[in-house]
Amino acid sequence: MTDASDIRQGDWVDRLLPDGWRPYARLARLDRPIGTWLLYLPCLWGLALGWQANRLPVAEMLWLVALFGVGALVMRGAGCTVNDLFDRDLDRRVARTATRPIASGAITPRQALLFLAAQLVVGLAILLQLNRFSWAVGVAVLVLVFVYPLAKRVTDWPQAVLGLTFNWGALLGYAAVTGTLEPPAMIAYAAGFFWTLGYDTIYAHQDKEDDAIVGVRSSALALGERTKPALVAFYAVTVALLGVAAWTAGLGPLSYAGLVAVAGHFAWQIRTVDIDDPQRCLAVFKANRDAGLIVALAFVLHW
């Protein structure tokens, strides 16, 4: 492991897990929970909006919140496994990713495929706990999960494919509560798409020099010095669409107050991010967990 690696030495994975488990924990990114949060938060948006339309008992809602939490953890791991299988040759050529388990040889492609199958089985078991309409919604996203790793090879906007993938939980969460899909969920999904364009463009600026060398494409490279104006546009559309989702769901003033707080958070991100400082980009990227939690709270409030 090098200082440039995105894998930390001596963290809880090294301290607590047996040697044989550690590469799989790294492959599933259990040591870096921000990705799980960013997959889970749109699920909470959908669950909250669905609850506004169909007031299930609190115990049932808490069960769904827990199910989606485990599902986000497992499916984020599955997505990372797919991504690292496709990218193993590229990862070996980038300092930040060269020590990832498949790229470094700690896990073979065959072992990774078996691990992927196990994760998908767990994900399926969780999906089957939901209503039948949710089954179709949940299975449909698998197309995007397998397409995303290829996007960076063919488009300057792989972040758009990630946005379509990572925010699917807004649809699935709503479907799990209501058994249908209605405008609040679809508008929240669209808001999440633009949110992801923003935060993942910030994330991509960490790797722009290596990406340019190895031929990987990204919105960070496409936008360059125009990134901050683009972030203003992405986040402004995000807040506007969140407001429309709240309005179509019939939410009240406290919800809009929460969205004002989110807008302030986004303004802070744009003001403080330095696209030429990888450490700062990572810190601002991680701050989107808090932004997503504020949105979830705004959608729960209805007064």
Residue with tokens 């996203």: 141
- 236 within a domain of the structure (yes/no): yes
pTM of the model: 0.94
* Residue 62 forms part of a structural domain: yes
The domain containing residue 173 runs over which residues?
A: 24-300
Whether residue 147 lies inside any domain: the answer is: yes
Best CA proximity match to 162, nearest among 133, 200, 190, 124: 200
Cα separation of 144 and 267, whole Å?
A: 30
Are the C-beta atoms of 298 and 278 separated by less than 8 Å?
no
Residue 19, burial from CB neighbour count under 10 angstroms (0-12, 13-18, 19+): exposed
- Distance CA(221)–CA(218), nearest Å, equals 5
Residues 6+ apart with CB under 8 A from 65: 44, 47
Q: How confident is the model at residue 101 (pLDDT cuts 50, 70, 90)?
A: very high
Neighbours of 225 (CB within 10 A): 8
**Confidence tier at 211 by pLDDT (50, 70, 90):** confident
From the list 252, 261, 262, the residue with the least C-alpha distance to 301 is 252
Separation CA 154–CA 177 (nearest Å): 37
Residue 284 lies in a domain: yes
Q: What is the DSSP string of 228-291?
A: HHHHHHHHHHHHHHHHHHHHHTT--HHHHHHHHHHHHHHHHHHHH--TT-HHHHHHHHHTHHHH
Count of domains observed in the chain = 1
Q: Could you report the per-residue pLDDT of 23-54, keeping only the tens digit for each?
A: 999 999 999 999 999 999 999 999 999 999 99
pLDDT digits (tens, 9 = 90+) for 222-259: 999 999 999 999 999 999 999 999 999 999 999 999 99
- Average pLDDT estimate for 193-213: 92
Q: Domain with 90 in it: what CATH number? A: 1.10.357.140
Is 110 part of any domain?
A: yes
Residue 6 forms part of a structural domain: no
Q: What's the whole-number average pLDDT of the chain?
A: 94
Whether 15 maps to a domain, the answer reads no
**3: in domain:** no
What is the chain's percent helix, strand, coil content, to nearest 5? 75, 0, 25
Q: What is the four-CA torsion angle of 150, 9, 19, 84, rounded to 10 degrees?
A: 0
